[in-house]
């Protein structure tokens, strides 16, 4: 049945059904390219226009801030008016906003700081130090991952302690870390979610209040919600039961940060009256691309077959290119891109996806040489750059003087004579007197052992912070940022170091100042200065990589496959298609993780509309040494009829044997041990091994630790690679330079 209605006219019947369902919980299972964004925007417009819902009763969760902006605009266009007071944001932004108002219940101040990954790592290091634990033995990063994992599962440190999983040290660190965060009025990314859920659990009135406000909740990319996010949604929607979620479990790619596609099943349990609509018509890709995607994903035991179909025609075959060295792989991409531009494509129609950020360099270089404009999304993000973080840290301290991480960052940046010795005395005072760093600095003159120079430095710091605050209060955020750039002499410092970098640093600072002024003008006029600054800092903390993709830039986009989620491009290059890279070696030994890698590849493929180019490189540099590479197992999952092979004489369809030995031959004696792996397993890539049944073989990749290391080994006699535990093979000497 096709309904006739302005909001429904250009939708297919399944989309119409989803958009116009009367009420109650709805789950839309939306295959790749099936128009889920359309459905969401139309649904919101429909709620407002047809069901008389007030925009401020709607909470819509998107995966990026950019998607939120676009959704808001799109709804506005559909309704022919700008929509105000509708909450369209990411989980993290929405939680931050709620917590600004409510977190005082738990003792956080409303101006709490939001810590990114690197801030959190710093804090963990401090905690390790103060607990007298050895940071080189317990990696701060690793600890943070454990803490983060616990938080995503809503396990607080007390519960963590009770359960006493693993060594007590982790629990100790977790506890201190969390106490410090609270003392400093700071939250990490995971806290934003966890504390909100805890708040709803602990204070029923607060939950009731937000249930009342958000009578209608919509969630995009539902397959990537973690436990905290799931509970948040469930709690909010429990009362009015108007919950509309859209997702595709085959595109679930964030398990490493707690995402759980089983939230699909839980949805049915918690909302048994829910209705389900499946969208399986693809509007994005050619049938060639779609067939490849369907084949690849069907290799997953846990695939959720949606029988995607389309009528966009066959289009071009998928090219698979073998490069020889990353330079040539990148050259291939650049040349092909150039050719397509000559054929009428815009550089902005094209994107290069890779598994890891570290791969971007070669492609940047090649595109630069080909004189094609490009933009790298993510990688070393703007707000992560040293000089930018410094300025932001000053502003952060102005906003929240208890923010010890920010304060430690700027205390002697630029140098003002507060060196290790003085800082040591101050830190001792902090722990002895149990005061905050801010309080210690206020009485620095009375702390023994501090040099005159350092005392002066502390005073200078206080002065400059005062100045920034003054500018903020009289002239606003833009001027405050400028003050934090120039009055602190960070601008001077940025130029002074010289080199090509100097210019880039100055540009970054100029950009930061511009962004601050621009942000300022987007705020309501009656907001007090401190609150304006808080909003600015919050925005800076919560920008995501894809947020700064500029479609209007006319440039080829370079990004990780993760960042590419939700995007589409006429031409897509997926590069680095090698076993050990994609799928990543860390995932190969675990079937679940391997399936996640395959979903990731599925996401990559399904971004492309017209042309898909896959490429792999038969050598790879790790730590300065070349390593032989074999093509990704995923390439073999694409039927030959869809593929055209380009380049690489060694490439033989369906066989990795020739390429593996070719890779070894070309790198020859240059294959060297990767030190870290040697220490862990005693084996090296390139080692010859003997297996009781399969004979002699050569180690291609190693993953895992100690005696439990596993490897992919190529056995010439079998003409194939096998995965095995290294402990079951015997090493054979005689290989090497």
Partner DNA sequence: CATAGCGGGTTTTTT
Partner DNA sequence: ACCCGCTATG
Q: Catalytic amino acids?
A: 36-37, 220-221, 251, 607
Could you say whether residue 163 binds DNA (CB under 7 A)?
no
Binding DNA (rule: CB under 7 A), the pick from 520, 545, 610, 684 is 545
Could you say whether residue 562 binds DNA (CB under 7 A)?
yes
Stretch 487-526 residues interacting with DNA (CB under 7 A): none
Q: Which residue has the tokens 């004489």?
A: 649
Largest CA distance in the chain: 83
Could you say whether residue 587 binds DNA (CB under 7 A)?
yes
| H-assigned helices in 476-590 | 477-486, 490-496, 499-522, 529-542, 561-564, 585-588
Evaluate the CA torsion angle 147, 151, 154, 159 in order and state its sign: positive
| Candidate ranges 51-59, 253-261, 331-339, 461-469; the one touching DNA (CB under 7 A) | 253-261
Could you say whether residue 563 binds DNA (CB under 7 A)?
yes
Our CB check for DNA shows the closer of 41 and 680 to be: 680
Our CB check for DNA shows the closer of 180 and 275 to be: 180
Closest distance between DNA and the C-beta of residue 624, in Å? Answer: 4
Our CB check for DNA shows the closer of 396 and 587 to be: 587
Mark residues 354-383: x for contact with DNA by CB under 7 A, - for none.
-xxxx-------------------x-----
Could you say whether residue 116 binds DNA (CB under 7 A)?
yes
Residues 370-373: contacts with CB under 8 Å, at least 24 apart: 370/334, 370/335, 370/337, 370/338, 372/334, 372/337, 372/338, 372/341, 372/347, 372/555, 372/556, 373/347, 373/553, 373/554, 373/555, 373/556
Query: Is residue 63 within 8 Å of 565, Cβ to Cβ?
Result: yes
| Candidate ranges 48-56, 197-205, 362-370, 542-550; the one touching DNA (CB under 7 A) | 542-550
Stretch 337-356 residues interacting with DNA (CB under 7 A): 355-356
Is residue 262 classed as helix, strand or coil in its secondary structure? coil
Could you say whether residue 464 binds DNA (CB under 7 A)?
no
Cis before 15? omega within 30: no
Q: Angle CA(438)–CA(441)–CA(446) in degrees, nearest 5?
A: 140
Q: Which of 36, 32, 38 is nearest to 289 (CA)?
A: 32
Mark residues 443-462: x for contact with DNA by CB under 7 A, - for none.
-------xx-xx--------
Binding DNA (rule: CB under 7 A), the pick from 544, 589, 661, 666 is 544
Mark residues 305-344: x for contact with DNA by CB under 7 A, - for none.
----------------------------------------
Could you say whether residue 548 binds DNA (CB under 7 A)?
no
Question: How is the chain split among helix, strand and coil, in percent rounded to 5?
Answer: 55, 15, 30
Using alpha carbons, list the distances in angstroms from residue 179 to 107, 126, 127, 159: 11, 12, 10, 15
Could you say whether residue 589 binds DNA (CB under 7 A)?
no
Our CB check for DNA shows the closer of 3 and 707 to be: 707
Instruction: Write down how long the chain is.
Output: 737
Binding DNA (rule: CB under 7 A), the pick from 418, 515, 643, 713 is 418
Closest distance between DNA and the C-beta of residue 470, in Å? Answer: 26
Closest distance between DNA and the C-beta of residue 423, in Å? Answer: 7
CA dist., res. 709 & res. 28, Å (int): 42
Could you say whether residue 624 binds DNA (CB under 7 A)?
yes
Which tokens belong to 183?
């003392």
Closest distance between DNA and the C-beta of residue 586, in Å? Answer: 4
Look up residue 582 and give its DSSP letter: T
Q: Angle CA(161)–CA(163)–CA(167) in degrees, nearest 5?
A: 65
Closest distance between DNA and the C-beta of residue 705, in Å? Answer: 10
Stretch 79-98 residues interacting with DNA (CB under 7 A): 90-92
Our CB check for DNA shows the closer of 68 and 308 to be: 68
Query: Is residue 580 within 8 Å of 712, Cβ to Cβ?
Result: yes
Number of residues binding to DNA, judged by CB under 7 A: 50
Which tokens belong to 62?
């998107």
Using alpha carbons, list the distances in angstroms from residue 514 to 99, 387, 481, 521, 531: 28, 15, 9, 11, 19
CB atoms within 10 A of CB 87: 20
**Orientation angle between helical segments 452-475 and 386-399, nearest 10 degrees:** 80
Our CB check for DNA shows the closer of 452 and 733 to be: 452
Mark residues 649-688: x for contact with DNA by CB under 7 A, - for none.
--------------------------xx------------
Our CB check for DNA shows the closer of 239 and 455 to be: 455
Which residues in this chain contact DNA in the complex, by CB under 7 A? 64, 90-92, 116-117, 125, 136, 139, 141, 148, 189-190, 254, 256-257, 355-358, 378, 412, 415-422, 450-451, 453-454, 542, 544-546, 560, 562-563, 584, 586-587, 593, 621, 623-624, 675-676
């Amino acid at each position: 049945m096709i309904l006739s209605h302005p909001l429904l006219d250009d939708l297919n019947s399944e989309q119409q059904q989803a958009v116009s369902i009367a009420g109650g919980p709805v789950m839309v299972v939306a295959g790749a390219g099936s128009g889920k964004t359309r459905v969401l925007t139309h649904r919101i417009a429909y709620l407002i226009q047809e069901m008389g819902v007030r925009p401020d009763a709607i909470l819509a969760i998107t995966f990026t801030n950019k998607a939120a902006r676009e959704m808001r605009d799109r709804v506005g266009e559909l309704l022919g008016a700008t929509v105000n007071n509708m909450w369209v944001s990411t989980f993290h932004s929405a939680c931050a906003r709620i917590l600004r108002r409510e977190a005082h219940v738990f003792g956080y101040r409303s101006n709490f700081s939001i810590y990114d990954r690197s801030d959190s790592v710093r804090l963990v290091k401090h905690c390790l130090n103060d607990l007298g634990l050895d940071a080189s033995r317990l990696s701060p990063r690793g600890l943070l991952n454990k803490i983060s994992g616990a938080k995503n599962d809503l396990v607080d440190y007390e519960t963590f302690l009770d359960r006493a999983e693993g060594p007590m040290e982790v629990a100790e660190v977790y506890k201190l870390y969390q106490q410090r965060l609270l003392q400093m009025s700071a939250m990490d990314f995971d806290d934003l979610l966890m504390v909100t859920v805890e708040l709803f659990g602990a204070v029923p009135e607060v939950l009731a209040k937000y249930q009342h406000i958000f009578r209608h909740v919509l969630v995009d990319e539902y397959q990537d919600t973690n436990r905290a996010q799931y509970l948040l949604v469930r709690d909010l929607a429990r009362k009015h039961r108007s919950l509309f979620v859209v997702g595709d479990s085959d595109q679930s790619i964030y398990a490493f940060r707690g995402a759980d596609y089983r939230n699909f099943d839980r949805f049915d349990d918690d909302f048994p009256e829910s209705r389900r609509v499946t969208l399986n018509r693809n509007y994005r890709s050619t049938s060639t691309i779609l067939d490849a995607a369907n084949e690849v994903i069907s290799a997953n035991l846990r695939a959720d077959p949606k029988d995607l179909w389309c009528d966009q025609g066959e289009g071009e075959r998928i090219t698979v290119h073998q490069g020889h060295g990353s330079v040539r792989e990148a050259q291939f991409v650049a040349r092909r891109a150039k050719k397509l531009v000559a054929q009428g494509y815009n550089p902005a129609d094209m994107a290069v996806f890779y598994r890891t950020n570290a791969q971007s360099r070669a492609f940047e270089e090649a595109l630069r040489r080909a004189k094609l404009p490009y933009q790298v999304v993510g990688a070393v993000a703007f707000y992560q750059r040293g000089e930018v973080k410094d300025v932001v840290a000053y502003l952060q301290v102005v906003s929240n003087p208890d923010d010890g991480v920010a304060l430690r960052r700027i205390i002697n940046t630029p140098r003002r004579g507060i060196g290790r010795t003085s800082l040591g005395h101050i830190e001792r005072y902090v722990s002895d007197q149990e005061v905050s760093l801010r309080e210690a600095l206020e009485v620095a003159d009375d702390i023994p052992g501090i040099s005159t120079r350092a005392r002066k430095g502390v005073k200078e710091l206080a002065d400059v912070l005062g100045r920034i605050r003054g500018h903020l209060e009289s002239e606003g955020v833009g001027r405050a940022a400028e003050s934090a750039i120039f009055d602190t002499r960070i601008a001077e410092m940025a130029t002074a170091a010289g080199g090509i970098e100097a210019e880039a640093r100055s540009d970054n600072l100029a950009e930061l100042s511009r962004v601050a002024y621009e942000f300022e003008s987007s705020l309501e006029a009656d907001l007090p200065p401190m609150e304006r600054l808080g909003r600015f800092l919050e925005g800076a903390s919560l920008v995501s990589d894809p947020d700064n993709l500029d479609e209007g830039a006319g440039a080829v986009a370079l990004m990780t496959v993760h960042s590419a989620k939700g995007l589409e491009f006429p031409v897509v290059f997926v590069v680095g298609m090698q076993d050990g890279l994609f799928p990543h070696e860390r995932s190969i030994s675990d079937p679940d993780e391997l399936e996640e890698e395959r979903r990731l590849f599925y996401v990559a493929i399904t971004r492309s509309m017209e042309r898909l180019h896959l490429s792999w490189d038969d050598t790879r540099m790790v730590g300065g040494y070349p390593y032989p590479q074999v093509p990704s197992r995923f390439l073999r999952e694409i039927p030959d009829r869809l593929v055209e092979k380009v380049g690489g004489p060694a490439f033989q369809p369906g066989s990795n044997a020739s390429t593996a030995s070719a890779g070894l031959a070309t790198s020859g004696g240059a294959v060297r041990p990767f030190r870290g792996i040697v220490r862990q397993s005693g084996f090296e890539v390139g080692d010859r091994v003997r297996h009781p049944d399969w004979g002699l073989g050569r180690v291609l990749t190693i993953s895992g630790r100690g005696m439990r290391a596993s490897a992919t080994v190529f056995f010439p006699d079998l003409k194939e690679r096998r995965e095995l535990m290294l402990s079951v093979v015997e090493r054979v000497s005689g290989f090497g330079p």
